[in-house]
């Protein structure tokens, strides 16, 4: 129990150094951002490298500037929808989130010229989220500061936009060799990401429950690859928990403002309502007061949230939600068990899992591509935790974490590179095994 208590007190710091990477037009596998011709859902489908190139020893590019390049692209291409906060983080333009606001807080908002744009009650979390709209031409940062001064007990922040933490290689892969699949029937696990291509062969026998986008589907490379690593299975592929039921929330829906805190909070409330014990979030962004409250509410109910720690670099400032206390932060390692050079380090790293020299599913043709990043390590850990926490329960959640830590080698200590150790090595499908 001492180990379990320690695991629930993990806090923050870690990432933002950048290393050179391939141009934006050579990056695929991120949540769809509706960016024409580049980082969007089909950005790399026009680039085709010979199969031999993917099977040689040439390494994939490092990811140190991937998120920063995405942020820059969003701000340049969608200035009417997205603005930068004072630290350069993307946020929905002109919106402020108020989490469980008091009447005093709403009165202060009205006095500052803010109007209620949307309001959502989350009875599952015993919370309420109010989206405030700034008047045209007003500086959102100045209004937020004034609101915080007027109601220091309240919880107010930007409606930040969160991004994925990984990429997929541009070239096609040959079909992988057959791998036996052992179904994990009766299990359930949650996912908050971009859309999943439910038509892909790895989900042919999967029990998928999809949420978001008003019932429409928007398959995306990032969400599809992450979901496959959790529950996918076919004659050619096996995820960490094949056959498990996947509750997948699409918080992007091919929108430039997809991945906002507002959408993530709504997805968490849905998963709380469905009583899904373990939830994977392979998204990264800044600390946010509303997101912190939503995470804490989920943890109080006994959910385990698993999150990628990000790829901004080992000395960069912390990214969230992985850096919130109690969130299971996951880093990626290569086939030799070495941490990815671009991966975050720090007290938020709880576990490591394969995150490089590996294959996952992709929409369209070819159906499998190489992936890299902490985004693809986190779902492996989430899927391995799922059997230990079939439904939310605080005591069982602590026991599940302690059990996985022991399996990872916690008795040998913990460091800031791989946390309590590496798990899930057998899930990696190496591109070198392709025919």
Q: Which of 78, 160, 222, 303 is catalytic?
A: 222
CA torsion through residues 104, 108, 111, 113, sign: negative
222 is catalytic: yes
Q: Which of 32, 155, 194, 375 is catalytic?
A: 375
Q: For residue 116, what are the CA distances in angstroms to 126, 143, 266?
A: 20, 14, 17
Q: Which of 151, 157, 193, 254 is catalytic?
A: 193
126 is catalytic: no
391 is catalytic: no
Q: Annotated active-site positions, please?
A: 193, 222, 375
């Amino acid at each position: 129990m001492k180990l379990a208590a320690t695991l629930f007190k993990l806090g923050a710091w870690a990432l933002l150094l950048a290393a050179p990477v391939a141009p934006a037009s050579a990056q695929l596998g991120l949540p769809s951002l509706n960016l024409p011709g580049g980082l969007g859902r089909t950005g790399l489908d026009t680039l085709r490298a010979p199969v031999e190139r993917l099977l040689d020893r040439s390494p994939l590019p490092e990811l140190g500037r991937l998120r920063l390049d995405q942020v820059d692209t969003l701000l340049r291409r969608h200035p009417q929808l997205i603005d930068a906060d004072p630290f350069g983080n993307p946020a929905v333009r002109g919106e402020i989130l108020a989490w469980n606001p008091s009447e005093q807080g709403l009165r202060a908002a009205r006095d500052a010229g803010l109007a209620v744009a949307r309001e959502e009650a989350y009875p599952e979390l015993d919370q309420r989220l109010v989206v405030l709209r700034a008047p045209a031409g007003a500086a959102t940062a100045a209004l937020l500061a004034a609101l915080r001064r007027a109601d220091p007990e309240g919880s107010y922040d930007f409606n930040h936009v969160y991004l994925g933490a990984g990429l997929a290689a541009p070239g096609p892969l040959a079909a992988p060799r057959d791998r036996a699949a052992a179904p994990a029937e009766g299990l359930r696990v949650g996912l908050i990401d971009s859309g999943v291509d439910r038509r892909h062969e790895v989900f042919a026998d999967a029990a998928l429950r999809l949420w978001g986008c008003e019932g429409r589907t928007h398959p995306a490379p990032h969400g599809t690859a992450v979901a496959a690593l959790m529950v996918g299975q076919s004659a050619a592929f096996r995820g960490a928990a094949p056959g498990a039921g996947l509750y997948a929330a699409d918080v992007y829906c091919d929108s430039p403002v997809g991945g906002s805190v507002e959408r993530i909070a709504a997805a968490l409330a849905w998963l709380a309502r469905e009583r899904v014990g373990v939830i994977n979030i392979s998204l990264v962004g800044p600390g946010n007061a509303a997101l912190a409250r939503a995470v804490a509410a989920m943890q109080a109910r006994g959910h385990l949230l698993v999150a990628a720690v990000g790829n901004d670099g080992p000395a960069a400032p912390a990214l969230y939600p992985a850096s919130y206390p109690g969130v299971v932060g996951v880093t990626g390692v290569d086939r030799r068990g070495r941490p990815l050079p671009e991966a975050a380090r720090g007290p938020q790293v709880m576990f490591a899992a394969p995150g490089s020299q590996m294959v996952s599913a992709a929409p369209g043709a070819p159906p499998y591509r190489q992936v890299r990043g902490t985004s693809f390590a986190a779902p492996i850990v989430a899927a391995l935790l799922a059997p230990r926490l079939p439904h939310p329960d605080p005591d069982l959640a602590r026991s599940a974490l302690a059990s996985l830590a022991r399996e990872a080698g916690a008795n040998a200590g913990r460091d800031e590179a791989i946390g309590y150790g590496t798990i899930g090595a057998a899930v990696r499908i190496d591109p070198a095994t392709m025919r």
